[in-house]
Structure 1
Amino acid sequence: MLYTHVAALILGGAIAATTAWQVQDWRLGGQIASLKATHATELAQAKEAALATERTNAAKYQGALNEARTREAALQRDVGRARAESDGLRDQAADAARRIATAAPAAVAEYANTVSELFGECSRSYQGMAEAADRHADSVRLMLDAWPSNHAR
């Protein structure tokens, strides 16, 4: 009779342990499934946020590229006009040199004064342009030096 009680006790303990094990498996399995679902949701949200950031950056880049192309086209038009104007001035200067050879001394003196004034204005304009170019180059260098980078330049 003692053996039957011990056997029943062992069998009852085994059933209780198996039942407890199964309950823990269900409870923890549910928690793991919930964690996996949360992780999948967060991962999908992170991917969507990264994709949205990438789209924003691509749109910004394309806009900047289009603006740069527009500025380049305007610059090329300005260069063409400046060349044409420069060619015209060169022709006028060559014609003036021929006319000065036969001009009266008063006309030559007036021409020399006018040319001197124009040369002074051009010189001041070039100095202003050089200053603006130097400031621009300095600003670009500042932006390049301040921009975060993972590698040395």
Structure 2
Amino acid sequence: MIDIYLAKSYKAIIIVLMAFLLLGGIGLSIQSWRVDHCQAEYQLLDAKFKTQVAESQALTEKAKVEAATKEKQWSEQQLKAEQNHNVKIKQVMADATRAQSTADRLSKQLDTAKSRVSTAPRETIIKYVNTSSDILQECIAEYRTLEEAADGHAVDVGRLSEGWPE
């Protein structure tokens, strides 16, 4: 009887062990599937991350190239403006030299005319005074034009200075 009971108990133990092994195998299979699934998701996320990093680096390089291009354009523009400014300064200096030369000649002519006034006839003196008056009026008109241009320039410089980004 003990043998029958033991035989039945072995059968039950074997069935329980087989069920345990079967459930363990199923559990192990499920865990293996989960690990494989997690690895696949990790690889997918890793690939996406690497793609985003590569895109980010490409955008950074593109921005650097654009910035360098703009800086080069601004530098060329500034150099061109400086060259134009130098040409204009030379022109202004040449004009100033020419004006000074003309003023010197006019001054000499006036000195000569002043020395001759005492011996000149009345009609010549009247012409001299009228011509001097006309020249003075033209000088005043030119002075006003120059003053208006200088004031306009000062206003433009102020506007540009105030509007320039800092």
TM-score w.r.t. length of structure 2: 0.80
CA shift digits 1:56-84 (9 cap, x unpaired): 11111111111111101111111111111
Note the 1:128-143 alignment, pairs <5 A. 128-143=145-160
Q: What is the number of residues matched between the two proteins?
A: 149
Give the Cα–Cα distance (whole angstroms) in 2 for the partners of residues 30 and 146 of structure 1: 48
Consecutive aligned runs of 4 or more in structure 1 exceeding 6 Å deviation = none
Deviation at 1:121, TM superposition (A): 1.5
Q: C-alpha distance in 2, partners of 1:51/1:128?
A: 44
Kindly provide the CA deviation profile for residues 41-99 of structure 1, in whole angstroms up to 9, marking residues without a partner as x.
Answer: 22221111111111111111111111111101111111111111111111112222211
Identity %: 23
Separation (CA, whole Å) in 2 of partners of 1:146 and 1:43: 31
Alpha-carbon shift at residue 108 of structure 1 (Å): 1.8
TM-score, normalised with respect to structure 1: 0.86
Indicate the RMSD between aligned Cα atoms, in angstroms.
1.8
**Matched residue type, 2:103:** S
2:87 alignment partner in structure 1: 70
Distance 1:125 1:87 in 2: 18
Structure 2, unaligned runs of 5 or more:
1-16
2:136 matched residue in structure 1: 119
CA distance in 1, matches of 2:55, 2:145: 63
Which whole-Å CA distance do the structure 1 matches of 2:91 and 2:42 have between them? 72
Please give the alpha-carbon distance, in whole angstroms, between the structure 2 residues aligned to 1:51 and 1:68: 25
| 1:95 and 2:112 aligned | yes
User: Is the counterpart of residue 46 in structure 1 residue 63 in structure 2?
Assistant: yes
User: Using the alignment, how far apart are the partners of 1:65 and 1:44 within structure 2?
Assistant: 31
Aligned match for 2:39, one of 22, 33, 46? 22
Separation of aligned partners in 2, 1:128 and 1:80: 20
- Please report how far the alpha carbon of residue 119 of structure 1 lies from its aligned counterpart in structure 2 after TM superposition: 0.8
Structure 1: gaps of 5 or more residues? none
